């Protein structure tokens, strides 16, 4: 019941209705604390030596701390291994979004056995580029195109949204980086005067999203957005929607760990067309892939 999002009050009422027994919130908290050793074992478990793709994104929760309610972000890493299987590699509560913090997160993965990450997709997290260069210097870092699209649209009036959106497709759907740059220049020439802030979003983000142009359409489809982890986050939100405020960090981890266990039960199929994608990765990355197969 706890894993599926019910609060202690709801669980207590359910048990009283069924069994006629009264259980306090304190008792229910002690019962759910029994999973803490399993959760810590999961958070510290050994991982695969190499992951083809890792997505990193966060979800916000309200937490009570020092008699105040503050907003905290829990970051998740979801990886696709060389067998095409998805897995949740870890979860961390954000301290500060700096290169030092992200280096700590990536070092955690490294210390748990991850020797290499081929491609990492994130949403322009501050300091991430420097951390990746320090811990996984060969990793290709790809920014989320969907977030760039959304951020640019914030500055465009409704009547021009359709046309502006169509013009941005010449950037992110371009077959090569050269043609994408031509699309960016065309966007600047057409819209800079009317929507300078929207165009600036694309100019500032271009280098961050341009990694994808070196890959095949099949790989680009997997890495151009953090949607796979956003879908995972959506499932987490459904399981935690009844929790307006969580009492502490341990409560966050307990709840999310149980939710992850439930969600992962459905992750039985490998990524569609994985055998073809794996061959493409093997051609592109060479021995970084082949030595682990």
Domains of the chain in sequence order: 41-144+225-290 (3.30.420.10)
Q: How do the pLDDT tens digits run along the chain, 293 residues long?
A: 887 778 888 888 999 999 998 888 889 888 888 999 999 999 999 999 999 999 998 888 888 877 888 888 889 999 999 999 999 999 998 866 788 899 999 999 999 999 999 999 998 788 899 999 999 999 999 999 999 999 999 999 999 999 999 999 999 999 999 999 999 999 999 999 999 999 999 999 999 999 999 999 999 999 998 877 777 888 888 877 777 777 788 888 888 898 898 889 889 899 999 999 999 999 999 999 999 98
| Residues composing the chain | 293
pLDDT of residue 95: 67
CA distance linking residue 129 with residue 126, whole number of Å: 8
Directed axis angle between helix 158-172 and helix 196-209, to 10°? 20
pTM for the whole thing?
0.89
Q: Any bridge partners for residue 59, and if so which?
A: 74
**DSSP label of 139:** P
For tokens 């907003």, name the residue.
71
- Alpha carbon dihedral 284, 132, 39, 46, in 10-degree steps, equals 50
Q: How far apart are the first and last CA of the chain?
A: 41
């Amino acid at each position: 019941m706890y894993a599926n999002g019910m609060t202690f009050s709801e669980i207590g009422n359910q048990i009283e209705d069924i069994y006629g027994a009264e259980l306090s919130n304190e008792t229910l908290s002690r019962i759910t604390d029994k999973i803490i050793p399993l959760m810590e074992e999961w958070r510290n478990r050994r991982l695969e030596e190499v992951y083809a793709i890792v997505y990193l994104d966060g979800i916000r929760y309200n937490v009570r701390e020092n008699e105040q309610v503050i907003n905290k972000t829990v970051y998740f890493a979801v990886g696709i291994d060389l067998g095409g299987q998805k897995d949740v590699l870890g979860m961390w509560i954000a301290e500060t979004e700096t290169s030092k913090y992200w280096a700590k997160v990536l070092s955690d993965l490294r210390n748990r056995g991850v020797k290499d990450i081929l491609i990492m997709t994130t949403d322009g997290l501050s300091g991430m580029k420097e951390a990746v260069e320090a811990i996984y210097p060969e990793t290709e870092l790809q920014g989320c195109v969907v977030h760039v699209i959304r951020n640019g649209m914030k500055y465009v009036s409704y009547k021009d949204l359709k046309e502006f959106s169509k013009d941005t497709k010449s950037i992110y759907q371009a077959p090569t980086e050269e043609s994408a740059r031509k699309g960016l220049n065309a966007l600047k020439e057409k819209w800079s005067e009317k929507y300078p802030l929207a165009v600036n979003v694309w100019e500032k983000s271009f280098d961050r999203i341009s990694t994808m142009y070196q890959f095949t359409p099949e790989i680009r489809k997997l890495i151009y957005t953090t949607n796979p982890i956003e879908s995972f986050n959506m499932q987490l939100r459904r399981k935690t929607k009844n929790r307006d405020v969580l009492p502490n960090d341990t409560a966050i981890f307990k709840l999310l760990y149980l939710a992850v266990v439930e969600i992962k039960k459905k992750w039985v199929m490998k990524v569609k067309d994985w055998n073809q994608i794996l061959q493409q990765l093997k051609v592109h990355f060479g021995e970084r892939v082949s030595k682990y197969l």
